[in-house]
């Protein structure tokens, strides 16, 4: 947020101005750090002057791909010599996502008032700490265009990784949905009707038919319980994932899940190594970069490993040696980090580690898909075969009895 303040200087003068902060308490701390005594602090009311239509448009989320496009366009314009204010104005007009366009408009207003781009971005939740830090590093080093280019490249790679995962799981998800639909139709509509017909005929039913009909009838009577139990299980998992006391256990469990646990691990490692590489390359201090990487992990186990690296860096210890002593980083990763530290090319080595994890992730997903697809097809075929046997065996038996 942007706050207006009135403060007294050490020589007794009264000064007015604006400052970017998350809360009034942070404003007080920043002013005192500048040797000023706060007299009055208030939120900038102009910041909140949005029409009702604009407020409706601002509801929702901003996709990662829209942010990637935004920073790529900003990079292109800044590199072409267009001033920051003009570039932001063009982006306000061209950005299709209304929520993001409103955020850029507010950023431009603050930049026009004399606030730096990174400070203006910090006031908007659409731009996370990682983005702000990379931009700030570029501003401080006088290479804003290069930092924006690194940020755009990083977001584009993250979007590409996301698309790769989504596209890989789409077909198995479609097959699974089809399988569930087939089972639902058979159990809900087809089997009960044949059960009524056979019951009216009074013929003896083979065991497979009896078991199939009993299961179908049980599902018809108890589907609210089954559906409710499934919903309750999902809600419970979500709650356990969000609770700070149970999240560490859930995060460990995710990494140990059969089939998908290794995929989750490789996806997180690819994302975190790419994040750390981008921030180090942009000039973000290593302690801050490691702290933000731990947050990006969104997994207690892997996040804790990066926090251990941060503490090692704070004590002046080698990152590669610390990584080798953890059970999270593969030895190859630890060795490449060591090489990066010794040669002064840490960001390059981290980028290569991220590339390796992305390749491994791609192969793992393809392998899993090749296993899941035939299993699901066999499952659907097995269900259809059982139902067909349950229906036709009594019919064949009745015909033979008549002959």
pLDDT tens digit sequence for 68-117: 999 999 999 999 899 998 999 999 988 888 889 999 998 998 888 888 89
pLDDT tens digit sequence for 15-49: 888 776 656 777 787 788 788 888 888 876 554 55
d(Cα 248, Cα 194) in Å, to the nearest integer? 50
Residue 187: exposed, middle, or buried by beta-carbon count in 10 A (0-12, 13-18, 19+)? buried
55 vs 119, more confident: 119
d(Cα 281, Cα 87) in Å, to the nearest integer? 24
Residue 185: exposed, middle, or buried by beta-carbon count in 10 A (0-12, 13-18, 19+)? exposed
d(Cα 151, Cα 147) in Å, to the nearest integer? 6
Q: Is the Cα torsion angle 167, 168, 171, 172 positive or negative in sign?
A: negative
pLDDT tens digit sequence for 187-244: 788 888 888 887 777 777 888 888 888 888 888 888 889 889 999 999 999 999 999 8
Q: Given this model, what pLDDT does residue 249 score?
A: 94
d(Cα 342, Cα 308) in Å, to the nearest integer? 20
* Homologous superfamily assigned to 159-403: Type II secretion system (T2SS), domain F (1.20.81.30)
With a cut of 90, say whether residue 272 has pLDDT above it: yes
d(Cα 249, Cα 247) in Å, to the nearest integer? 5
Residues in the chain: 403
Q: Is 113 helix (H, G, I), strand (E, B) or coil?
A: coil
Q: Given this model, what pLDDT does residue 52 score?
A: 54
Task: Share the mean pLDDT of the chain.
Answer: 86
d(Cα 241, Cα 220) in Å, to the nearest integer? 32
Give the strand order in the sheet containing 37-43.
Answer: 14-20, 2-8, 37-43
Q: Given this model, what pLDDT does residue 193 score?
A: 83
- For 35, left (φ over 0), alpha (ψ -120 to 50), or beta? left
Q: Other CB atoms closer than 10 Å to residue 9's CB: what's the count?
A: 12
Contact 392, 195 (CB under 8 A): no
pLDDT average, residue stretch 142-156:
90
Dihedral in degrees, nearest 10, Cα atoms 30, 32, 34, 36: 120
What are the start and end residues of each CATH 3.10.20 domain in the chain? Answer: 2-47
Distance of CA 187 to the CA centre of its chain: 37
Q: Given this model, what pLDDT does residue 49 score?
A: 52
What are the start and end residues of each CATH 1.20.81.30 domain in the chain? Answer: 159-403
d(Cα 277, Cα 294) in Å, to the nearest integer? 13
Residue 62 backbone phi and psi in degrees, to 5: -110, 115
Highest mean pLDDT among 60-64, 112-116, 157-161, 271-275: 271-275
Q: Given this model, what pLDDT does residue 347 score?
A: 92
3 beta partners: 19, 43
Architecture of 2-47 per CATH? Roll (3.10)
Q: What percent of the chain has pLDDT over 70?
A: 94
pLDDT average, residue stretch 56-62:
66
Contact 283, 118 (CB under 8 A): no
pLDDT average, residue stretch 129-136:
90
């Amino acid at each position: 947020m942007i706050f207006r303040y009135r403060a007294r200087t050490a020589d007794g003068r009264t000064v007015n101005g604006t400052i970017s902060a998350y809360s009034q308490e942070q404003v007080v701390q920043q002013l005192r750090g500048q040797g000023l005594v706060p007299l009055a602090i208030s939120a900038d009311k102009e910041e909140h002057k949005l029409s009702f239509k604009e407020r409706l448009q601002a509801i929702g989320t901003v996709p990662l791909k829209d942010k990637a496009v935004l920073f790529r366009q900003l990079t292109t314009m800044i590199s072409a010599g267009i001033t920051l204010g003009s570039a932001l104005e063009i982006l306000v007009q061209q950005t299709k996502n209304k929520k993001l366009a409103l955020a850029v408009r507010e950023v431009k207003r603050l930049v026009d008032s004399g606030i730096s781009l990174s400070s203006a971005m910090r006031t908007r939740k659409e731009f996370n700490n990682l983005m702000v830090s990379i931009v700030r590093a570029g501003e401080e080093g006088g290479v804003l265009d290069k930092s924006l280019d690194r940020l755009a490249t990083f977001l584009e790679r993250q979007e590409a990784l996301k698309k790769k995962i989504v596209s890989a799981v789409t077909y198995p998800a479609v097959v699974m949905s089809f399988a569930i639909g087939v089972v639902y139709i058979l159990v809900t509509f087809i089997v009960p009707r044949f059960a009524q017909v056979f019951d009216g005929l009074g013929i003896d039913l083979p065991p497979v038919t009896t078991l199939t009909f009993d299961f179908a009838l049980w599902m018809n009577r108890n589907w609210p319980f089954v559906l409710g139990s499934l919903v309750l299980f999902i809600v419970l998992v979500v709650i356990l994932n969000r609770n700070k006391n149970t999240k560490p256990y859930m995060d460990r469990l995710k990494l140990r899940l059969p089939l998908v646990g290794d995929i989750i691990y490789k996806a997180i490692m690819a994302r975190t190594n790419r994040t750390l590489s981008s921030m180090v390359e942009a000039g973000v201090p290593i302690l801050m970069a490691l702290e933000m990487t731990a947050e990006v992990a969104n997994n207690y186990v892997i996040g804790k490993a990066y926090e251990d690296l941060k503490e090692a860096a704070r004590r002046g210890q080698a990152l590669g040696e610390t990584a080798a002593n953890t059970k999270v980083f593969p030895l190859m990763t630890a060795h490449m980090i060591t090489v990066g530290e010794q040669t002064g090319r840490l960001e390059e080595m981290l980028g290569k580690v991220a590339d390796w994890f992305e390749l491994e992730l791609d192969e793992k997903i393809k392998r899993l898909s090749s296993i899941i697809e035939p299993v699901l097809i066999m499952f659907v075929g097995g269900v259809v075969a059982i139902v067909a046997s349950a229906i036709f065996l009594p019919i064949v038996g009745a015909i033979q009895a008549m002959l």
